[in-house]
Amino acid sequence: MRYLRAAGLLLAGSALLVGSFAAGERWLGERDATSEVNGVTDAVPRAEVARSISGHLSLPLILKGPRSVDCVQDLRAVEGARTHCTAHYLRGTDRGMTVRVVRVRGGEITYVHDAPHR
């Protein structure tokens, strides 16, 4: 009986661990965001793009994300439009990335960013 209980606990623990890895991989793998376009400029403000990217690069409950993200310009509402952003980490490390519009629909755009590179 004791071996059966230990096997059950081991199996439940393994399932929980695998589920945690899958959730973390999904969280880190999602690199797309949808934002409303400013009707005057026909673009998403660079501060909004930076906020969205910062959220993607941070895990819940783990403070290893960037301390800030800066983008060089607003992201135009044109499919294929690009901007460059930089993630600034605590140890003085900066990582650049490209943000690209993949879909424009009505007053919203969907954009993706590549993985931060050195």
> What residue has token string 């959730």?
23
Whether this prediction's pTM lies above 0.85 is answered by no
As beta bridge partners, residue 75 has 44
Residue-wise pLDDT for 52-72, tens only, equals 998 888 766 556 778 899 999
**Helix-strand-coil split of the chain, %, nearest 5:** 35, 35, 30
Provide the pLDDT for residue 44: 96
Question: What is the rounded (10 degree) CA torsion for 112, 84, 114, 104?
Answer: 20
Residue 45 class from Cβ within 10 Å (0-12 exposed, 13-18 middle, 19+ buried)?
middle
CA distance 97 to 39: 26
Closest among 70, 74, 80 to 37, alpha carbons compared: 74
pLDDT in tens, 20-58: 444 334 434 457 889 999 999 999 999 999 999 988 887
Two tokens at 34? 């949808």
